[in-house]
Amino acid sequence: MRGIKAGNFLMYRNSQVCVICKITSNGNNTPTCITGIDSNRQIHQGPAGDWSPIMGKHEELLKFSDGMLGEILHKRGAKR
């Protein structure tokens, strides 16, 4: 999975859509460990093999976006 960057969306263990926030790599730009955050603000971290593209995962991506919107609305409600 070359070319992934922080801010990309990936699936963690085919169950959680995450925004990538950190990538560690060995010397040749091959990711060795990827860290991402899901819509519930839970951190997921694992080797590159635990991550996969979100291509064709429309339902999971919709759940992620609904979760993010829910978090934003919840925070706004708590501030009032």
Q: Collect all residues with Cβ–Cβ distance below 8 Å to 27 and sequence separation of at least 6.
A: none
Q: pTM for this structure?
A: 0.79
Letter for the amino acid at 72?
A: I
Average pLDDT on 45-57 reads: 93
pLDDT band at 46 (very low <50, low <70, confident <90, very high): very high
**What are phi and psi for residue 44, nearest 5 degrees?**
-125, 130
CB 28 within 8 A of CB 21: no
Q: What is the pLDDT of residue 77?
A: 67
- What pLDDT sits at residue 2? 62
Q: What percent of the chain has pLDDT over 70?
A: 90
Please report the DSSP string for 12-79 in residue order: ETTTEEEEEEEEEE-TTS-EEEEEEE-TT--EEEEEGGGEE--TT-HHHHHHHHHHHHHHHHHHHHHH
Is residue 45's pLDDT more than 90?
yes
**Average pLDDT of the chain, as a whole number:** 87
